[in-house]
Amino acid sequence: MILVVSGLAHPSGYPLKVKSTPSDSPPTVCAPAEEGEYFLKVLIPSYAAGSIIGKGGQTIVQLQKETGATIKLSKSKDFYPGTTERVCLVQGTAEALNAVHSFIAEKVREIPQAMTKPEVVNILQPQTTMNPDRAKQAKLIVPNSTAGLIIGKGGATVKAVMEQSGAWVQLSQKPEGINLQERVVTVSGEPEQVHKAVSAIVQKVQEDPQSSSCLNISYANVAGPVANSNPTGSPYASPADVLPAAAAASGGFLTAEKLAAESAKELVEIAVPENLVGAILGKGGKTLVEYQELTGARIQISKKGEFLPGTRNRRVTITGSPAATQAAQYLISQRVTYEQGVRASNPQKVG
């Protein structure tokens, strides 16, 4: 039995009805958002879904009672494109959204031992292993309008959020065109850092009058690009080219030959803080060379002192097939996240 509770508005405005239904039954429906209520979408790794739902839906029912929030989860095999993660829609006050997310984050941190063991996987198949770094990440899906508020003018707001929380915050790229109305925000760090950053993001949700513009939890029928779940990932994500198994890349299972098989070339640019460029380069540039050999992508970093306008970030340009650039982005973002964590726990470590 899986509890299915909807956060979608009902035209008749019926009161919320919570019931436990089989996963293939139509979802129950809740009332439209009332004054002071907001929506937040959270990605939940499939390994954590069971402990969040609880036996017969008991845990999620209790969570709703305690927080006053309404929680809706996509069906067991209805994953966000290119991942093995379910979409969770939370409706409630800002306080309720933060409380529910704290509970979810706690369960996401509990990765089953069996899932951390690396194994060879097909790069185009959904991953069966989990990168342990996922336990330290929160992944939120927000409308483009909310994303703009999170970033702020010239990136000032997101920079302030990172400085004040100590967490690392990245947003998936915004594509040209109008198909994609959302972006994925990845927050990385220790529990308290993530909590502070997510609270700041919820504040931006409150400030955005269009924050409830994308309330779907199923992406099965979504045409065109969707926001990539990997930090700074290409927006043109589909199950075929998103490389959900990119987590295995750090184990050396993605070969240049496999990745080069994707013939189309693309160019992706990402920003890396000046003080973290050394971590990507490695001693004598060794790490950067390894990343290029492993993925088959070409990675170039702007010269020292050449920053993206209005920032202290260096420009990293990645060229190659979609699969190669995706894997390279993944490796770089994981390296940056790891280094951030090391420095957060050991402030004396610099360079």
* pLDDT, position 257: 46
* pLDDT, position 14: 29
Q: Kindly report whether the global pTM for this prediction surpasses the value 0.75.
A: no
* pLDDT, position 347: 64
Let me know: does 45 contact 57? Beta carbons within 8 Å.
no
* pLDDT, position 109: 92
Fold agreement between 38-111+133-207 and 266-344: no
* pLDDT, position 349: 52
Fold of 266-344: Ribosomal Protein S8; Chain: A, domain 1 (3.30.1370)
Q: Where are the domains of the chain?
A: 38-111+133-207, 266-344
d(CA 39, CA 151): 19
Residues 6+ away with beta carbon under 8 Å from 105: 138, 191, 194, 195, 198
Task: Give the dihedral sign, CA 92/94/99/100.
Answer: positive
* pLDDT, position 121: 38
User: Which stretches of the chain score pLDDT less than 70?
Assistant: 1-34, 112-132, 175-180, 223-224, 231-264, 347-351
d(CA 208, CA 169): 19
Q: pLDDT tens for residues 191-244?
A: 999 999 999 999 999 999 999 988 999 988 776 677 777 765 444 433 333 333
Q: 155: phi > 0 → left, psi -120 to 50 → alpha, else beta; which?
A: left
- CATH class name, domain 38-111+133-207: alpha beta
d(CA 61, CA 49): 14
Neighbours of 116 (CB within 10 A): 13
